[in-house]
A and B are shown apart, each in its own frame.
Chain A
Amino acid sequence: MSSVNLGVEIGGIRLKNPIMPASGTFGNGEEFAGIQGMDLSALGALVTKGTTLEPRAGNPQPRIRETASGMINFIGLANPGVKAFIEEKLPFMAQFETPIIVNVSGFTLNEYVRMAELLDQVPSVAGLEINISCPNVEGGRIPFGSDAQIAANVIRAVRRATKLPLIVKLTPNVTDIVPIAKAVVDVGANAISMINTVRAAFIDRGKIIQGGLSGPAIKPIALCLINQVSQAVNVPIIGMGGISTLQDIFDFFQVGASAVAIGTANFKNPLVMMALIDQLEKYCLEHGLANIDQVKARIKGGKG
């Protein structure tokens, strides 16, 4: 055993290291578990595919397009629904002794509440990541997360429905993200995850497809917004947006993230999270750092 402790605490969830998959880039773990060299018990957390109250088939083709240093997805939250998720997907994930964070997406306030109530009863769930980037079908299809009051209404209601740690995933597609972050923290969010994908479009044979942009292209946007939010709220932030290297992780630490999620980078290297955990530990050993706080102190001193 090494003397390095990479552990972090996010809203009451103890993680053995600060590295986890971003929702939607890891399925529900089964496929990655079949990859040689992948160890799900080595990850900081398992973050599920976006889950909704009812099953969703998702969008028609085309669903993805590569862009310069990024990709646009138009998947449409395809998932089997929360009940099938709990019965068929969760037991597999629960065998790794890695905290499970369930990504919860809703299209009405009541859907979020119903899902929180159902998941609250499941012992293997460590926390909920509340995706408030979905359109509010009872509110002119304006995303919940684009208005501080509406976002707070969702989180307040979910807070009443469960004692589980709540991580609120913020959308970057807003004029000012700070009041939204403050509003959800005021009503009980235990942590923030950011950023969700950046609204973007591609053209497919004359058809305009609107989706979400991810990958290295959005890293500077994520850094900027996390920097703003980390100065305004006092809950931990899980940073995400184009991370693929150890230096990227350090940059997210620098702007105030306490942990990081790896998303699009899993697609061009399925073992990237394993490599980053290994590199982070080696970095600590090399520089005589005992924990993540010491890593952050070193980075903030201008040493990468």
Chain B
Amino acid sequence: METWKIQVGEAVVVSNILKAKDTWELELNLGNDLDVTAFLPGQFVCLAPLDPSSTMARPFSIASISTFNGTFSLLYKVIGKNTELMARLAVGEKVKFWGPLGQGFLPNTDEYDEVWLIGGGIGIAPLIFYEKVVSEFQGGIVRVFYGNKTGAEIIPLDLYCQEPLIIVTDDGSIGCQGFVTDVVQAYMKVANEKKILVITCGPKVMMRKVADICQQAGQDCYVILETIMACGLGVCLGCSIKTSSGMKRICHDGPVFPAKEVIWDELS
């Protein structure tokens, strides 16, 4: 029997704010019956689609929790009908949600000199949660690398770690110009004997490159995979992928996977 419980309920919109171009932060309150303290970094929630003609659940990474307020927040990019409707949600409105979903992954940071969190685009969302948790536990250095196409899409981040945020944009409008993976590569070259834990989330091509860099440098890398899901619960098998350790459901067995298990060509 599963030891975890998936909560289901109507969450109330506390705030719904445009943070960068097409990118919003939605904060939801679970009320008295539900409990955000069970939410772990790497986990996600599903929201029922707002478009009545939609049939599939909408998965979103948990970007932060506030145990004091009983709220959690997620980041979303407006890319279609449902996210357009999400952007119109007003404070006080309710959305059906279920979660937390997936296996949370809490790294044993004592084993590492540094933890690197590498996000691309909206993939920064779960890393915001990681950054807070890891900064609380980690004695060593925590670095956040955040890549996006342009500065307009970069959301402002309040970080807990000491190291400055490393922003990389394709056009150089904010931060370094180029790909975030190039900057990671450069940092890795001078990392020498340090033992580094890398957690990455973003476009497949970016994560694959990060995984390559880590493999060549002999560093541990975990990837947070994103995909279309129908249920988010592990029953529809719509997100199952072949990995080096067998068939895995991204929603239920992941979404955090050791990079070395991922067969990149098997991802859609």
Q: Which residues of A contact B (CB under 8 A)?
A: 24-27, 30-37, 49, 57-58, 60-66, 68-71, 73, 75, 78, 92, 204, 214-216, 264-271
Contact = CB atoms under 8 A, between A and B. Distances in A.
Nearest to B82: A66
B55 A268 contact: yes
Main secondary structure of the interface of B (DSSP, over half): loop
Nearest to B231: A267
A215 B267 CA distance: 25
A64 B54 contact: no
A96 to B, nearest CB: 12
Contact of B55 (A24, A34, A204, A216): A216
Interface stretch (B67-75, B108-116, B209-217, B239-247): B239-247
Interface in B252-268: 252, 266-268
Q: How large is the interface on B (under 10, 10 to 19, 20 to 34, 35 or more residues)?
A: 35 or more
Given A25-B231, A58-B247, A270-B98, 18 more contacts: A30-B2, A35-B98, A36-B5, A36-B7, A57-B247, A61-B241, A63-B237, A64-B239, A65-B228, A71-B55, A71-B230, A75-B238, A78-B247, A92-B1, A267-B57, A268-B48, A268-B57, A271-B8
Interface of B: 1-2, 4-9, 48-49, 53-57, 96, 98, 227-231, 233-242, 247, 252, 266-268
Contact of A215 (B7, B55, B240): B55
B2 A70 contact: no
A116 B125 CA distance: 49
B268 A62 contact: yes
With a 10 A CB-CB cut-off, give which of B96, B234, B240 has the most chain A CB atoms. B240
A34 B238 contact: no
A32 to B, nearest CB: 7
Contacts of A92: 1
B4 to A, nearest CB: 6
Contacts of B233: 27, 31-32, 35, 270
B4 A75 contact: no
A88 to B, nearest CB: 13
22 contacts: A27-B235, A30-B1, A33-B1, A35-B5, A35-B233, A37-B8, A49-B235, A60-B242, A61-B227, A63-B237, A64-B56, A66-B54, A71-B55, A73-B236, A78-B240, A92-B1, A204-B268, A214-B55, A215-B55, A216-B53, A268-B55, A270-B98
Contacts of B239: 63-64
B237 A75 contact: yes
Contacts of B55: 66, 69-71, 214-216, 264-265, 267-268
Contacts of A30: 1-2
A199 B157 CA distance: 47
Contacts of B98: 35, 270
A214 to B, nearest CB: 8
Main secondary structure of the interface of A (DSSP, over half): loop
Given A60-B266, A71-B56, A36 B240 contact: no
Contact of A24 (B4, B7, B54, B236): B236
Nearest to A215: B55
Nearest to B265: A60
B56 A61 contact: no
A68 B53 contact: yes
A33 B1 CA distance: 8
A266 B231 contact: yes
Contact of B234 (A27, A70, A268): A27
B236 to A, nearest CB: 6
Pick the 3 closest A-B CB pairs, nearest first: A64-B238, A61-B268, A27-B235
Contact of A64 (B8, B228, B241, B247): B228
Contacts of B8: 35-37, 270-271
B56 A34 contact: no
Given A35-B233, A64-B230, A69 B53 contact: yes
B54 to A, nearest CB: 6
Contacts of A64: 56, 228-230, 236, 238-239
Contacts of B268: 61-62, 204
A264 to B, nearest CB: 5
